[in-house]
Amino acid sequence: MSTLSDLILAQGRSSQADADWLQKLVGDLQLLADLAFADIVLWVPSAAGGFVAVSQARPSGAATLFYRDFVGQEIRPEWLELVSCAMETAAAAESNAPDWYEEMPTRVRAVPVLRRLGSHTNDVTEHPIGVITRHTNLSASRTPSRQELTFNDCAGEVFEMIASGDFPDLGAPTGPRRGAPRASDGLIRLDNDGVTTFASPNALSAFNRMGFDDELEGRSLAEVATSMMTDRTTVDEMLPLVVTGRAPLRTDLDAHGITVTLRAIPIRHLGVRTGSIVLSRDVTEIRHQDQELITKDATIREIHHRVKNNLQTVASLLRIQARRTRSDEAREALTQAMRRVGAIAVVHDTLSEGLTQNVDFDEVFDRALLLVAEVASAHNTTVHPRREGSFGVLPSEYATPLALALTELVTNAVEHGLVGREGTVHILADRGPTMLQVKVRDSGAGLPEGRVGEGLGTQIVRTLIQGELGGTIDWHTMVGQGTEVTIEVPLRWIGKS
């Protein structure tokens, strides 16, 4: 499925700047649908002279007209004239008579989308870059409530700003969608002085939970917020701008153990601010969950850090024991055990530095290769390891066994293929959508076919690759020309990589 930007650019009539503007607008398409109690469709001009739908939103508080998506489809003939009029005149156009859609009467309004050319200029594009259609279901007409009238008024003001290039606001930061307030969560209408002219029941309830026991209407929202924060020593610097509706920002208001997130949308007419919409949502539970996740992440990182320290301690003890051991065979066994423990410690060290249980395996493997230098010096070998390709980011379930297996293969190449000589070990990584292939080549003498699979290291590699990762491993030995080991690991645990 194409991304929104790809879909827009594929029509051949929009620039990248147009696509970026429309991408920001689509982020608030659901808000428009909820305020207007109508289905919203965004159209862009196509190379064929018509229009193609690139996004769509259905109202949360009203019955939808469109049970199937229009995204990617050409405009229907009955809407073409209206949308073309809005595009050509750069002015909103509305159907004169009810438009019938699947035996339901509807009212269609087309609003042109103009793009502001910069955050510090009032200049807009010469022609609209798209058109939004608003489809209102007339079959369930009734006397609207005060809340519905206010929502519709707010929708009309936002549509006017879209047509003048004032919305979306280039100064608005792009924050996470998690916990973002919606129209149904709570809406407060402010006049130009920051005084509340309307507060939806959900908005009033959110403030009541924070300890405010009066009516919001007729009160300055800034004064209300200040009165509830008497026990706070620090205040978010964005809060005054949000509660007065002066900037398109989003912040949290905390009082009495309750957290309400607020988002301000300044309303402008001909570039002059005339008021604002403030959306509110009680996100106390969401913030608690976020804090729990942060705590769990910190705990997991600390565990990885301590495991790494413990493994490094074990490796140090093995090194000390190896130096005190008189038996060459025992010393070699202890040295190999030390190296294997060290390879696992590298993975845990990397995991302790990040917020996820995924690691950049290229970095892990490059650090693990440093362990090979000790092996090479012990065997009077000068080795030149070289890596090509990229392993990419892998989850810890892959990283630990793969790091240990590859370290083992490179060590085997040094100990058996390059012992007493200078040579290279070439590691080639080829990651595809569903498979990771790794080849380890050395320029040594090669191994006799009958010896492949005899050693403990080879058995460990087979167990890790075949048993833990469900992959395959194959040795190609050519006496006098070196050895090549090919590993293939399926990426089914990762899904799309």
- What is residue 469's predicted lDDT score, i.e. its pLDDT? 84
Among residues 230, 234, 233, 228, the alpha carbon closest in space to that of 258 is found at 228
Q: Could you tell me the two tokens for 12? A: 């051949």
pLDDT at residue 379 greater than cutoff 80: no
* pLDDT of residue 381 exceeding 70: no
Residue 263: per-residue pLDDT: 93
pLDDT of residue 423: 75
Q: Whole-angstrom Cα distance, residue 30 to residue 61?
A: 11
DSSP of 40-52, one letter per residue? EEEEEE-TTSSEE
Phi, psi of 222 (to 5 degrees): -65, -40
Q: If pLDDT is split at 50, 70 and 90, which confidence band does 402 have?
A: confident
* pLDDT above 60 for 1: no
Query: Which two structure tokens, joined as six digits, stand for 388?
Result: 């090509």
How far, rounded to the nearest angstrom, does the alpha carbon of residue 20 sit from its chain's CA centroid? 17
Q: Examine the pLDDT at 320 and tell me if it is beyond 90.
A: no
Give tens-digit pLDDT for 195-250.
999 999 999 999 999 888 889 999 999 999 888 876 655 667 788 899 999 999 99
Q: In terms of pLDDT, which residue wins out, 296 or 6?
A: 6
Render pLDDT for 123-181 as a digit per residue (tens, 0 to 9).
899 999 999 999 998 876 677 889 999 999 999 999 999 999 999 988 777 766 677 89
* pLDDT at position 185 over 80: yes
Whether the CB-CB separation of 448 and 494 falls below 8 Å is answered with no
Name the residue among 132, 153, 127 with its Cα closest to residue 43: 132
Whether 369-497 and 187-282 are alike in CATH topology: the answer is no
* Mean pLDDT value across the chain: 83
So what's the pLDDT on residue 134? 95
Q: How confident is the model at residue 467 (pLDDT cuts 50, 70, 90)?
A: confident
Q: Which of 145-154, 331-340, 351-360 has the lowest mean pLDDT?
A: 351-360
pLDDT reading at 495 higher than 70: no
pLDDT score at 496: 43
pLDDT on residue 497: 39
Whole-model pTM: value is: 0.66
What residues have CB less than 8 Å from 5, skipping those under 6 apart? 16, 19, 20, 23
Average pLDDT over residues 100-108: 81
Residue 373 confidence (pLDDT) above 70 = no
Cβ–Cβ under 8 Å, residues 66 and 100: no
The answer to whether 77 and 92 are in contact (CB under 8 A) is no
* Whole-number percent of the chain with pLDDT over 70: 87
The CATH number of the domain covering residues in 187-282: 3.30.450.20
Sign of CA dihedral 448, 452, 454, 456: positive
What per-residue confidence (pLDDT) applies to 255?
A: 85
At 318 the pLDDT is 82
Spelled out in words, what is the top-level CATH class assigned to the domain 369-497?
alpha beta
Q: Is the pLDDT of residue 349 over 60?
A: yes
Give the mean pLDDT of 443-458. 63
Confidence band, pLDDT 50/70/90 cuts, at residue 275: very high
Q: Which residue has the higher pLDDT, 294 or 464?
A: 464
Question: Which class in CATH covers the domain with range 4-164?
Answer: alpha beta
Is the model's pLDDT at 294 over the cut of 80? no
Q: What is the pLDDT of residue 448?
A: 58
| Domain map (residue ranges) of the chain | 4-164, 187-282, 285-356, 369-497
Confidence at residue 348, expressed as pLDDT on a 0 to 100 scale: 74
**Token pair for 391:** 């392993």
